[in-house]
């Protein structure tokens, strides 16, 4: 959860770069070369190398890398539905969603 909170104050580019850095660290933990991980993930070596350098990659490419690193389950929490603790939480959420802004005149 702390990793998610650290992303909040960052720009999208910073988030992408941090993610690429964490993927690189995981790759090195597993003693894999860039080319080796690219092959395992089924993506081009140049695509993977660019990802590590810039953080830029397609969503499909990122999922393939996660699969190759056996970390695909970490995507489960991305955009997951909110978990409620009580019926009051559900009702309060419904009330909050009913609010609308004023119409422009």
CATH number (domain holding residue 8)? 1.10.260.40
Q: Residue with structure tokens 């609308």? A: 100
Read off the pLDDT of residues 35-57 as tens digits, 9 standing for 90 and up: 999 999 999 999 999 999 999 99
Number of domains comprising the chain: 1
Does 105 reside within a domain? no
Domain that holds residue 54: 2-97
Read off the pLDDT of residues 60-97 as tens digits, 9 standing for 90 and up: 999 999 999 999 888 887 877 777 777 776 677 666 66
Does 84 reside within a domain? yes
Does 103 reside within a domain? no
């Amino acid at each position: 959860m702390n990793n998610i909170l650290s992303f909040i104050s960052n720009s999208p580019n910073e988030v992408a770069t941090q993610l690429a850095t964490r993927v690189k660290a995981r790759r090195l933990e597993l003693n894999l070369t860039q080319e080796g991980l690219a092959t395992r993930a089924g993506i081009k070596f140049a695509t993977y190398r660019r990802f590590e350098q810039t953080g830029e990659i397609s969503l499909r490419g990122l999922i393939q890398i996660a699969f190759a690193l056996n970390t695909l389950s970490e995507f489960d929490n991305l955009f997951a539905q909110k978990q409620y603790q009580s019926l009051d939480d559900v009702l309060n959420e419904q009330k909050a969603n009913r609010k609308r802004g004023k119409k422009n005149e």
